[in-house]
């Protein structure tokens, strides 16, 4: 399938600034790592006042996919494992740090931590 000119990245599919995924990614390809600042909007609510776990999984997958793309070229996710540790309040500013740990043939192994902006609270970790 050839994408048409009106396609858009999944994370940017929600209309209205601040309603969905508000983020900025910073890639350091030489170090095989990526930092992402993200603030989940009200359309990403799961339990009242908290960010839906699927939204957390989406930003983790997007961050790790961007990192893997820089390290290994076009990729798809084969397995995503997430440990949810502390719920994320809607509107909280998060720091998502992804890293390519190793390459084995066509496989890229990555890790990720989702922390509060203060760096102290570990909300989730993923591989």
Do 79 and 60 meet the contact criterion of CB atoms below 8 Å apart? no
61 catalytic? Reply is yes
DSSP calls for 61-104: HHHHHHHHHHHHSS---S---EEE-S--BTT--EEEEEEEEEEE
Of 71, 68, 72, which Cα lies nearest the Cα of 126?
A: 68
Contacts of 73 (CB under 8 A, 6+ apart): none
Do 38 and 53 meet the contact criterion of CB atoms below 8 Å apart? no
In sequence order, what are the beta bridge partners of 116? 94
User: Which one from 6, 17, 61, 83 is the annotated catalytic residue?
Assistant: 61
List, by residue number, the catalytic residues. 61
């Amino acid at each position: 399938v050839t994408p048409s000119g009106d396609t858009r990245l999944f994370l940017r599919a929600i209309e209205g600034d601040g309603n969905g995924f508000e983020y900025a990614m910073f890639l350091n390809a030489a170090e095989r790592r990526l930092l992402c600042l993200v603030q989940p909007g009200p359309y990403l609510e799961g339990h009242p006042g908290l960010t839906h776990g699927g939204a957390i999984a989406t930003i983790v997958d997007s961050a790790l996919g961007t990192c893997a793309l820089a390290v290994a070229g076009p990729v798809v996710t084969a397995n995503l494992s997430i440990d949810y540790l502390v719920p994320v309040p809607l509107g909280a500013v998060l720091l998502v740090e992804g890293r390519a740990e190793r390459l084995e043939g066509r496989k890229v192994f990555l890790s990720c931590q989702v922390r509060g902006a203060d760096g102290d609270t570990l909300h989730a970790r993923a591989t």
